[in-house]
Amino acid sequence: MNNKQEQQENHLQEEVPGGVPIKMWTRGVPVEDAARRQLANAARLPIVFKHIAAMPDVHLGIGATVGSVIPTLRAIIPAAVGVDIGCGMMAAKTTLRAEDLPDNLAPLRSAIERAVPHGRAPGARDPGAWGKVPGSVDTAWAQLEPEFSELCRDYPKLAKTNHRNHLGTLGSGNHFIEVCLDEDGAVWFMLHSGSRGVGNAIGTMFIELAKQDALRHNANLPDRDLAYFEEGARYFGDYVRAVGWAQKFAALNRELMMRRVIEAAKTVIRKNFQSHIEAVNCHHNYVQKERHFGEEVYVTRKGAVSAKAGQLGIIPGSMGARSYIVRGKGNPESFESCSHGAGRVMSRGDAKRQFTLADHRAATEGVECRKDKDVLDETPAAYKDIDAVMAAQQDLVEVLHTLKQVVCVKG
DNA sequence: ATGTCC
């Protein structure tokens, strides 16, 4: 990476017997053997086009590897998209400066927590859903409703999911809302969420249908989770419609939350300010039709972000680390993609066993965020070093802004 | 990540 030639050919290539090659942007970052084996499984599918690209945050997932880009010809693997359809990031720059923020950030964090439902349903009362759906959410739902009703005619179980009452809500796990400062002291708001319960139901249902289809047709798959629909087959068109709809839901979900976060901030910050001076809203878990190497292909980015030339993206660090607003370089070899974060180095269970609350408090010093034992699985040390991850993808993106969080709300 | 009726 120290000279021009290496920057142009920054990736490593692995040949897969009986499959397409794997191109890996993982110079200087650890890759588990299990993740390599999983990438090789996908590379052996007959529908994969040209090669598979692995981003520097690559790690083991279900079926397909998180941090991979899988281009397929006239077919889609629903389990590669996964259940958190349209999961992604949104960031908005404001006219606020660091010095405009109050010394005590706890009221700002509380205001955000009150404005956006978050967390997981513990029984009858669901703090992660709307008690009463706000008017702005109702208006947004009206855009989604007609296509959803059509889907429900063919797949009635989708009607029973949380949809309208989860639009504009955060969810749980690694979904979060942050207030950040960039390298010039400008205040940004940033958040991470997806298509919530309804996207999950769509993903789960079609993954199961693909597996059943594969069994019926005796498909010779290296892993049942890599079952795919081919163009023209029974569920292909329905899946394309449903996954596209869930992706729209997810993008709108983030936009609605961002608006409410800004409104909440205006109630506790005295200075008047404007938002969306620069704004990015990007999926990192999705599929869409794109043109690469002269072919129309379905590109599944599972934990990867689109990085076409000039396109803005977001690469978040973990709780205590920096995040990046990046501009794509349109590298065709990565199918114009980059990483979606730092990537885990250990499972959630291992992190909870290995780290203490004292470790976590030290790692998140100066950040107004949760410091209890239930967020130990999200502690920065459970993730790869973000500097190494960024260095490994210099030929995919350039860094425009470096963001450091000062407030973090976890689901 | 989600929801808890296989």
Q: Which two tokens stand for residue A274?
A: 């404007």
Q: Which nucleotide is nearest to A160 (CA to C1')?
A: B3
301-340 of chain A touching strand B, CB 7 A cut-off: none
Strand B bases contacted by the protein (CB, 7 Å): 1-4
A94 or A317, higher pLDDT: A94
Q: Which two tokens stand for residue A409?
A: 């709300």
Nucleotide B2 C1' to residue A150 CA (A):
23
Percent of chain A at pLDDT above 90? Answer: 76
Q: What residues are paired with A324 via a beta bridge?
A: A315, A402
Name the protein residue, with chain letter, whose CA is nearest the C1' of B4: A123
Name the protein residue, with chain letter, whose CA is nearest the C1' of B2: A197
For chain A, the average pLDDT equals 92
Write down the domain spans for chain A: 3-345+383-410
Q: How far is A389 from A256, CA to CA, in rounded Å?
A: 30
Q: Which nucleotide is nearest to A83 (CA to C1')?
A: B1
Q: Which nucleotide is nearest to A163 (CA to C1')?
A: B2
102-121 of chain A touching strand B, CB 7 A cut-off: 120-121
Q: Is A86 annotated as a binding residue?
A: no
A39-49 pLDDT, tens digit each: 999 999 999 99
A253-267 pLDDT, tens digit each: 999 999 999 999 999
Nucleotide B5 C1' to residue A193 CA (A):
28
Is A123 a residue whose pLDDT tops 70?
A: no
Q: Which two tokens stand for residue A7?
A: 């920057």
Q: Which CATH code for domain A3-345+383-410?
A: 3.90.1860.10
Q: Tell me the pLDDT band of A363, cut-offs 50, 70 and 90.
A: confident
164-203 of chain A touching strand B, CB 7 A cut-off: 166, 171-175, 193-194, 196-197, 200-201
Q: How far is CA A232 from CA A75, A192, A213, A218, A396, in A?
A: 9, 35, 13, 18, 34
| Amino acid A156: pLDDT | 95
Asked if residue A167 lies in contact with residue A137, where contact means CB atoms within 8 angstroms, the answer is yes
Nucleotide B2 C1' to residue A292 CA (A):
34
Q: Is A177 annotated as a binding residue?
A: yes
Q: Which nucleotide is nearest to A166 (CA to C1')?
A: B2
Residues 6+ apart with CB under 8 A from A122: none
Q: Which nucleotide is nearest to A195 (CA to C1')?
A: B1
Q: Is A178 annotated as a binding residue?
A: yes
Q: Is A172 annotated as a binding residue?
A: no
Least confident window among A155-159, A377-381, A387-391: A377-381
Mean pLDDT of the A350-368 span: 87
Nucleotide B2 C1' to residue A205 CA (A):
13
Name the protein residue, with chain letter, whose CA is nearest the C1' of B1: A84
Nucleotide B2 C1' to residue A98 CA (A):
36
Four-residue CA torsion sign, A31, A35, A41, A47:
negative
| Amino acid A346: pLDDT | 84
| Amino acid A125: pLDDT | 67
Kindly determine whether the C-beta of residue A83 is less than 7 Å away from any atom of nucleic acid strand B.
yes
Is A321 a residue whose pLDDT tops 90?
A: no
Residue A340 catalytic? yes
Q: Tell me the pLDDT band of A63, cut-offs 50, 70 and 90.
A: confident
Kindly determine whether the C-beta of residue A84 is less than 7 Å away from any atom of nucleic acid strand B.
yes
| Amino acid A411: pLDDT | 82
How many Cβ atoms are within 10 Å of A384's Cβ, its own excluded?
25
Is A4 a residue whose pLDDT tops 50?
A: no
| Amino acid A5: pLDDT | 46
Is A140 a residue whose pLDDT tops 50?
A: yes
| Amino acid A1: pLDDT | 46
Nucleotide B1 C1' to residue A283 CA (A):
15
- Among A118, A166, A340, A360, the one annotated catalytic: A340
A47-58 pLDDT, tens digit each: 999 999 999 999
A5-47 pLDDT, tens digit each: 444 578 999 999 999 999 999 999 989 899 999 999 999 999 9
Mean pLDDT of the A268-286 span: 96
Nucleotide B5 C1' to residue A228 CA (A):
28
Q: Tell me the pLDDT band of A368, cut-offs 50, 70 and 90.
A: confident
Is A350 a residue whose pLDDT tops 90?
A: no
Q: Is A318 annotated as a binding residue?
A: yes
Q: Is A319 annotated as a binding residue?
A: yes
Q: Which nucleotide is nearest to A120 (CA to C1')?
A: B2
Mean pLDDT of the A280-292 span: 98
Q: Is A285 annotated as a binding residue?
A: yes
